Chain A
Amino acid sequence: AQSVAQPEDQVNVAEGNPLTVKCTYSVSGNPYLFWYVQYPNRGLQFLLKYITGDNLVKGSYGFEAEFNKSQTSFHLKKPSALVSDSALYFCAVRDRTGGSYIPTFGRGTSLIVHP
């Protein structure tokens, strides 16, 4: 079984400050991990993914995420937030050892960046 948790419904940060959106996961084997962003009235847009290799993954729009196997986490980060980063962020996990290609999504975290 695979699951993902996003413990914060909402994250507030001031523009220019660093941001972190948290994600923890549970899989039977090893994970593939994904972050998606959803802007109002738009579909989910792919940001980045962890497959293997470096634990720090860099993605679109200056975002990065760090895979931490011991803490089963994959937190999304950005050094300096922009107001335009305000959106809904979804973490997803897929167990690479299973036969399914379907990821499990978290409930989403609303990021609000204040000017």
Chain B
Amino acid sequence: EPEVTQTPSHQVTQMGQEVILRCVPISNHLYFYWYRQILGQKVEFLVSFYNNEISEKSEIFDDQFSVERPDGSNFTLKIRSTKLEDSAMYFCASSEAHRAGGTETQYFGPGTRLLVL
């Protein structure tokens, strides 16, 4: 069964450093998403991406964040200057398409645990 994969599984970085989190969505999927989950809190939407551009983003997704699909398979989340509060589990997800009525299912990767020191 196809899966969404994410690398690295864990990342430790110093405050102020840039990090890039990588995801390989399911191959025939067209919509891609990033979510985060701060320890003990709920899963929060960051951004969705379709046709090489951002389709929706939350207020969390500020100027320090960016997303890219550099080579047609990878989908990356870049955090330019990490802060302590960016420490969280980051999940990538993908879905086939936005069917009429929006009944698509999102498939999630295993996550990258980011720790900012």
Decide if B4 touches A49 in the complex (CB within 8 Å): no
- CB A3 to nearest CB in B, in angstroms, measures 10
B108 x A36 contact (CB < 8 A)? yes
Q: Return chain B residues, CB-CB under 8 Å to A108.
A: 42-43
Q: Which of A32, A36, A102, A106 contacts B103 (CB 8 A)?
A: A32
Q: Which residues of chain A come closer than 8 Å to B41, judged between CB atoms?
A: 107
Check if A46 sits within 8 Å of B107, measured CB to CB: yes
Are A94 and B102 closer than 8 Å at their CB atoms?
Answer: yes
Q: Please, which residue of chain A has its CB at the minimum distance from the CB of B44?
A: A105
Asked if A96 lies at the interface with its beta carbon under 8 angstroms from chain B, I say yes
Total contacting residues, chain A, CB less than 8 A: 24
**CB within 8 Å of B: which of A91-115?**
92, 94, 96, 100-108
Q: Which B residues lie within 8 Å of A32 (CB)? A: 102-103
Q: Is A56 an interface residue (CB 8 A)?
A: no
How many B residues touch the partner, as a band?
20 to 34
Complex interface: chain B residues within 8 A of A106 (CB): 42
Q: Which of A39-55 contact B (CB under 8 A)?
A: 41-46, 49, 51
Q: How far is the CB of A84 from chain B (nearest CB, A)?
A: 18
Q: Quick one: which of B28-79 are within 8 Å of A by CB?
A: 31, 33, 35, 40-45, 48, 55-56, 58
**Whole-angstrom distance between the alpha carbons of A94 and B48 in the complex?**
15
Q: Are A90 and B101 in contact (CB under 8 A)?
A: no
Q: Which residues of chain A are within 8 angstroms of B56 by Cβ–Cβ distance?
A: 100-102
Contact B101 A102 (CB under 8 A): no
A96–B48 touching, CB < 8 Å = no
Q: With A90-B43, A107-B41 in contact, do A101 and B103 touch (Cβ < 8 Å)?
A: no
* Residue positions of A touching B, CB distance < 8 A: 32, 34, 36, 41-46, 49, 51, 90, 92, 94, 96, 100-108
